[in-house]
Amino acid sequence: MRQFSNICQGYFKKKQFRQNESLMLVRKIMYACLLPYQKKGFKEQDLFLLDFEKELDPLVDLEEEISEVEEQKAYWEKVDRQRELNNKR
């Protein structure tokens, strides 16, 4: 079960990475097309910011991460308890 969970998490990280790459490519193309018509100092980020480029509050992010880890621990402890009960039978 854990192996499947790890595989799924890796798959979705890979999928998110590819999506971010595609969005960066689209933004570069838009930037190249619009550059001749813009004022000096125009940057790619002026078009739109991607999710991973936005500044996050580190405390909020840390709290979310901690709660997610606690949820995963509780879930896997429950699975382990169930497995022990099933093995005793």
Residue with the two structure tokens 């499947």: 4
| pLDDT of residue 26 exceeding 70 | yes
**Separation between Cα atoms, residue 1 and residue 61, nearest integer Å:** 27
pLDDT digits (tens, 9 = 90+) for 31-62: 899 888 888 888 888 888 877 777 655 666 67
Could you give the C-alpha distances from 5 to 44, 56, 71, 75, 76, in angstroms and in order? Answer: 36, 27, 14, 12, 11
**Separation between Cα atoms, residue 74 and residue 2, nearest integer Å:** 13
Give pTM, 2 decimals.
0.55
> What pLDDT, on the 0 to 100 scale, is given for residue 85?
85
Q: Where are the alpha helices (DSSP H) in the chain?
A: 2-34, 58-88
| pLDDT of residue 6 exceeding 70 | yes
Residue 77 in tokens: 């402890």
